[in-house]
Chain A
Amino acid sequence: MTAAGFMGGLGVERGQAAEPTGNAIANIPIPLGAAAFRDVGSKFKITDMKVFGVSLTPDSDRPYVFVKFETNAGIVGWGESTLEGKAGAVMACVKDFREFIVGSDPMQVEHHWQSMYVHSFYRAGPVMGSAISGIDQALWDIRGKALGLPVYRLLGGPFDSRGVRGYYHASGRTREELARLRENLLKHGITCIKTGIPGSYEWIETHATLRRAVRSLETLREGIGPEIDIGVDFHAKTSPSVASILVKEVEPLNLLFVEEPCPPENVKAMARIAKRSTTPIATGERLIASYSCRELIELGVVDILQTDINHVGGITALWKVAAMAEASGITLAPHACEGPIGGLATLHVDAAIPNFLVQEVCSGIEPGPKEKVWEEWLGFPAMRMVNGRFPLPDKPGLGFDLSEAALKKYPFGGTRPMARVFHKDGSVAAW
């Protein structure tokens, strides 16, 4: 059967479909609820699900969790479920969803999303959100390959065919370092960077600490000049009281945003910071599903949403967050600090939403060992910008090929916690 045959179409070959392997699905039970779609779904079936834990170094605190689906048409789909510090839990959660997905029609991604979210009863936290995210991305990869289009075209993009505007992480202390940084950014056509603030913060902070934090940003702005946008990640290590002071005092620096000025659970606490300053507030990397962004949008707290395609619920959920944000004039600058699959997946959404601002990648201006591995896996410099933009793939689906063999060199080294830091008195601090 041709690809067209799988769609119930007229006989023109599209995508990468091959002969179905009928025997492979003979023994797979039909998932609950799938029979209702026998007459209206496609003839594609998911025949297997594989979950990979991948540690670039044996002691990595964020092993990648990749999800792969195989289908009766030879098409495979890849997605990413990486959850920093919780690799084992998320791998187990992906496996828990096996019987929701294997044996079903990969085309009905919205149905599967709803089924995983609603039928899990407790709705989603980060572990389940990340599991759903990887599965959702893999389904979109299959959908794009089956329909013969890159995912950003399925979503109606691209808004800019030159690619997706991005930023690297960068900083510098001395005037000389910053002058070199500026030169380097301009040379590469990079229009935005992100940095953090030094040290950890008590509930209320001293004059010395507050000045040090503000001065570090003043130095950065002076050093790199006015043309390059600066995002500053507070990483929720400041209390609302401390953040309110800092966010207000950095107003003259015209930052692109301050990110996570306090932890994300209490929207009104973040609102208290936001309403006393003109500095744009960005948040959202720890939020799961579009539901979690509603109050932030309603209360006018957030200017820029940063939901992460590997946690929020994949392409489906990131697109919905963007649609909600669009109605209030809020832009998106999605978080991406995990592996290359989620990074590439997020570019597809970025390219197809009108309210896209800028895309993160947790890399420096010069590629490091991690980026070399990504290139070795995918055959191209994934998540590296050209003239300040991430190029868009032209291939159907998410736009890359990955072999299981390539991952074997980096076996799962086990789950490790993320960085753990403490105050001077031994009490627990955030980083």
Chain B
Amino acid sequence: MADIQAASPQYPLDGMVAGSALVQITPAAPASRLALRARPDAIAPLSKALAVKLPQEPKTSAQGTAAKTKGRRALWLGPDEWLVIDESGADLMAACQGAGGTFSAVDVSNRNTAIIVSGPAAEAVISAGCPQDLSLKAFAVGACARTLLGKTEVVLLREEADVFRVECWRSFSAYAFAFLAEALRDPMV
């Protein structure tokens, strides 16, 4: 039988830091992530299994409320697609094992990495490379969307009014970080 080798996770942004008086750009803590595709019949069982209600409204995210799943987030990416993020080190694959309905779950914990952009100028820094309207009116706290940042595709989540989480693919993360750091020179920031 073939030996199964588990790839060890890499954190290419480890130790990187950028910022100014108005904004901090830091790598996010390692997290478990799940790319979920689910038919309507699986939404309720998955919400129960993951203890976070899968949102069904575009551009919205939901957070776990139970003590064990506090901070676990489910992000709406498409009509049948979600990204689940958990920073507590929980095994999300095990959690949704055997949930009813038709769905596919892929562990993408190490495919993605995230950058936290926080501070009063966070919105301006991300707007340097993101074509979406990020004003609080259009992109409220808790809003999330897959979109572009410069030349890379990212998933943007507004955690607080002036805190954004930029989820990007690990191999693009150095570019995304450098892009954000460069955006600090923008006169708007």
Bind each other: no
